[in-house]
Amino acid sequence: MKSTIIVFLLAALLSASVPQASAQTPPAEPKLPEKLPPELKQKAEEFKKQQAAVREHMQAGKYEEAEKVLRTLIEEFKSYFGPGNALLPECQGALGTCLRAQGKLAEAEPEFRASWEGHVKYSGAEKPETLRMHNALAETLHQLRKYKEAEQETRAVVKEMQKVYGAEHPATLLNRTNLAVVLGDEQKYAEAEKELKEVLEIDMRILGVDKQPTLMARGALAMTLREEGKLAEAEQEFRKVLLFMDGNPGEDHPDTLTFRYHFAICLTMQKKYAEAKKEAEQGLAAAKNKLGEDHPNTKELQQLVTSMQNTPK
């Protein structure tokens, strides 16, 4: 549960921090060759209509419909312009995004890989869209629990971000946090802790203690410390995170509820049962009020509260 939560929070943050399109944004329209033979000019108009349909579907969140159009478009591009052409990477990246949004991670992986490699070939390794696709590939590998590959690709993305944007750019720091989460899933806790503490120091200095990237890094550090058994340190970090997140984005925000859930578990592990129950019940009440009883956050908090019914006071 830990890594899945952090991955999605970081993905959302990363899309907003890099001067490029977000992971869910429709791709730029692939540019058709300027000089087309007469028999292809009419087909080019069909391609443009298909591209417009993809953008509309993706903007509306209709990923299954977008997937169908993209698969057709990719095959037609291959048929008319050859199996390796500069039109494919944008479409392959968009297809990967649609598949990932539908939970089809195993299918998304090769599309992101092909898109990234195509962007490297036709645009260059340091272009924003190339970096975006490399990052999407790394995140997808992580979600597939291919941790060794995910670590390798995430390290590569961090190096690329450092070169292009600088060591202290928000996108670079968020990818370092992502790397730490991967390391944690590999049980390389000491490395993860070191990475997160370095990121946190820079975030606090540049962004401030209450900004979302700082809070995500601190939250990831709290979870890592808990996994290491450093419960007292983890508790302190959870308290700092919630101190700010209860105010903004608010105690009923899904991110805040996620950290309160893990804070309650941390307290339980220290046999601070009364406070743990109080935190879990506070989170459950906020979740029910804001998200409803069927939301995943609400269900997890309800299970936690139920499990605490027989704990010592």
Predicted pLDDT at 101: 92
Ranking 107-116, 222-231, 293-302 by mean pLDDT, the lowest is: 293-302
Specify the pLDDT at position 310. 78
- Per-residue pLDDT of 116-158, as tens digits, reads 999 999 999 999 999 999 999 999 999 999 999 999 999 999 9
Q: Give yes or no for a contact between 259 and 297, defined as CB atoms under 8 angstroms apart.
A: no
Are residues 54 and 69 in contact, defined by beta-carbon separation less than 8 angstroms? Answer: yes
pLDDT value, residue 17: 46
Residue 203 has pLDDT above 80, yes or no: yes
- Contacts (Cβ under 8 Å, ≥6 apart) of 39: none
290 token code pair = 């804001």
Greatest CA separation for the chain: 81
Token readout for 93 is: 């990246």
Cis peptide before 110 (omega within 30 of 0): no
CA 184/CA 226 separation, integer angstroms: 11
Q: 140, 109 in Cβ contact below 8 A?
A: yes
- pLDDT bin (cut points 50, 70, 90) of residue 80 is confident
Instruction: Specify the pLDDT at position 41.
Output: 64
**Per-residue DSSP letter, 11:** H
7-16, 41-50, 141-150 — which one is most confidently predicted on average?
141-150
Pair of tokens at residue 184: 């944690």
What pLDDT score was predicted for residue 13?
45
The domains found in the chain, sorted by start residue, are 19-164 (1.25.40.10), 229-313 (1.25.40.10)
| Strand stretches in the chain, DSSP E | none
In the predicted model, is pLDDT for residue 11 greater than 70? no
Give 184 or 14, the one with higher predicted confidence: 184
Block residue for tokens 């992580």? 142
Q: What is the pLDDT of residue 7?
A: 47
Give the per-residue pLDDT at 82: 87
Q: In terms of C-beta density within 10 A (0-12 exposed, 13-18 middle, 19 or more buried), how is residue 295 classed? A: middle
Matching residue, tokens 């730490």:
180
The residue-averaged pLDDT of 9-24 equals 44
**Given this model, what pLDDT does residue 86 score?**
87
pLDDT score recorded for residue 45: 78
**Which structure tokens are listed for 15?**
């899309």
Tell me how far apart the alpha carbons of residues 3 and 170 are, in angstroms, rounded to a whole number. Answer: 20
Q: What is the mean pLDDT of residues 207-227?
A: 93
Is pLDDT of 166 > 50?
yes
Q: What proportion of the chain, given as a percentage, has pLDDT over 70? A: 86
CA angle at 70 for the pair 69 and 72, rounded to the nearest 5°: 70
Residues 12-20, mean pLDDT to the nearest whole number:
44
Residue 278 corresponds to which amino acid?
K
What is the mean pLDDT of the segment spanning 301-309? 91
Q: How many CB atoms sit inside 10 A of residue 293's CB? A: 10
Mean of pLDDT over the chain: 87
